[in-house]
Amino acid sequence: MHTVAVLSLKGGVGKTTVALGIASAALRRGVRALVGDLDPQGNATASLDPPMTESTLADVLETPRLAVINEALAPSAWSDSLDVLVGSEELELLNEPGPESRRMDNLARALDELRAAREDDPYELAILDCPPSLGRLTRSALMAADTALLVTEPTMYAVAGAERALEAIETVREEQNPRLRPAGVLVNKLRARSYEHQYRIAELRESFGRLVMPTAIPDRLAIQQAQGACTPIHEWKSPGAQEIALTFNMVLAKILRSSRAGRHRLDHTESGELETAEQAPDYPGSGPGQNETTSQFPAIRQYAEPETG
Ligand SMILES: Nc1ncnc2c1ncn2[C@@H]1O[C@H](COP(=O)(O)OP(=O)(O)OP(=O)(O)O)[C@@H](O)[C@H]1O
Ligand SMILES: [Mg+2]
């Protein structure tokens, strides 16, 4: 089971939309998947609309035992092939800083339990929808994840926000979870005709090079319509929805490829040295040198620079 954490520093940039879009692509492709809703707002749970459960992810984070996990797990209304580890408001209590750091790895333990218990019907992908902060809940997602997907809007603070998020990933990788890799920076709510958005994307690419996903998600009403109808974007029949569905197919494919690349690298390196999971192609139309980064942050340079040798 590959675990991807979907995160951002800012609220409202589209983490839940991206988590659901990847889940929708997984469903379409026949990839058995699980969405873990770590956000006390519970938006992913509301959209996936599972039946009432006896426990929630808040209980799992307190007691990461299989019995509790099974009580917090339910099939989504989208399909029996897509399950939800349901979120709840009580998660907020676990997001506050506290002395008891032992709970931080409880999500990782819970997912290990799940992996071991479901050898006959394994999940191929677990998608963790994080709350809008780099607090304890997001950090526990990073401790449990194989890759981390950063979501950003093409706005003025995007570069600074992505830098801070990548630094957080790097800290967790160094201190707690050596297998963690950035899956990429995914730009959401792009208005292709906006000069400002084009400028911000160029800025992101200059800072993060190939870490910036080759395709951005456009700003489309279809996303809100599909969410409002609790329907996977792949089933929403409008040209706008179909374009977005294709983009999520690409994002899913990249995550699954990085999963394989990650396994390969961990097999062949002794300490999981700092490497991005996969080399992404450029944005269409990007010129020579666009894959290079001028970031002043060493961690980001290591992720973003093309591999040599
Ligand atoms: N590409 C898009 N086009 C149009 N609307 C979008 C797009 N992406 C997200 N939205 C809308 O923006 C709002 C915020 O999106 P979403 O809930 O996914 O963000 P979030 O980062 O998960 O928010 P939070 O930080 O509160 O969890 C929602 O109403 C969603 O429907
Ligand atoms: Mg959200």
* Selected residue with higher pLDDT from 288 and 144: 144
Q: How many degrees, rounded to 5, is the angle at CA 127 between CA 66 and CA 232?
A: 115
Q: Distance (Å, rounded) from C-alpha 240 to C-alpha 233?
A: 10
Q: What is the pLDDT of residues 244-260, one digit of tens each?
A: 999 999 999 999 987 77
Q: Distance (Å, rounded) from C-alpha 222 to C-alpha 210?
A: 28
Alpha-carbon distance values, 79 to 5, 22, 122 (Å): 22, 14, 16
Task: Check: CB of residue 183 under 8 Å from CB of residue 148.
Answer: yes
Average pLDDT over residues 144-158: 93
Task: Check: CB of residue 14 under 8 Å from CB of residue 158.
Answer: no
Ligand 1 atom at minimal distance to the Cα of residue 20: 18
What distance in angstroms lies between residue 150's CA and the mean position of ligand 2's atoms?
A: 13
Report residue 101's pLDDT band, with 50, 70 and 90 as the boundaries: low
Task: Check: CB of residue 136 under 8 Å from CB of residue 96.
Answer: yes
Ligand 1 binding residues, C-beta < 6 A: 8, 11-17, 39, 41, 43, 132, 188-189, 217, 219-220, 223-224, 227
Percent of the chain residues past pLDDT 70, beyond the cut: 82
Average pLDDT over residues 26-41: 96
In the chain, the domains with their CATH numbers are 2-280+288-304 (3.40.50.300)
Phi–psi pair at 191, nearest 5 degrees = -105, 105
Task: Check: CB of residue 27 under 8 Å from CB of residue 78.
Answer: yes
